[in-house]
């Protein structure tokens, strides 16, 4: 597993649901840079973690 910072956009997409499930206290994860926050406005491409985990890994 490469550092998250080194993942390509597609690799990031594949790992996003798993990453999101590891940070249940945060409510949003950024689809673009994988940063997490409880505040939607602190991320550039926020996705609700609950939604992401429910949907599972991206194709
Ligand atoms: Zn971002």
Across the range 37-52, mean pLDDT stands at: 90
- Asked if residue 46 has pLDDT above 90, the reply is yes
Count of all residues that appear for the chain in the document = 59
Give the Å distances, CA to CA, from 31 to 19, 28: 11, 9
Summarize pLDDT for 12-34 with one digit per residue, the tens: 888 888 888 887 678 999 998 88
Distance 54 CA to ligand 1 centre (A): 21
| Average predicted confidence (pLDDT) for the chain | 85
Distance 3 CA to ligand 1 centre (A): 16
Q: Give dist(CA 45, CA 52) in Å, integer.
A: 13
Distance 10 CA to ligand 1 centre (A): 15
Residue boundaries of the structural domains of the chain:
7-55
Distance 29 CA to ligand 1 centre (A): 8
Prediction pTM value: 0.67
């Amino acid at each position: 597993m490469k550092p998250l910072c080194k993942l390509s956009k597609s690799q990031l997409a594949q790992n996003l649901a798993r990453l999101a499930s590891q940070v249940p206290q945060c409510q949003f994860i950024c689809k673009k840079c994988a940063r997490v926050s409880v505040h939607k406005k602190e991320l550039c491409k926020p996705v609700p973690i609950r939604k992401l985990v429910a949907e599972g890994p991206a194709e």
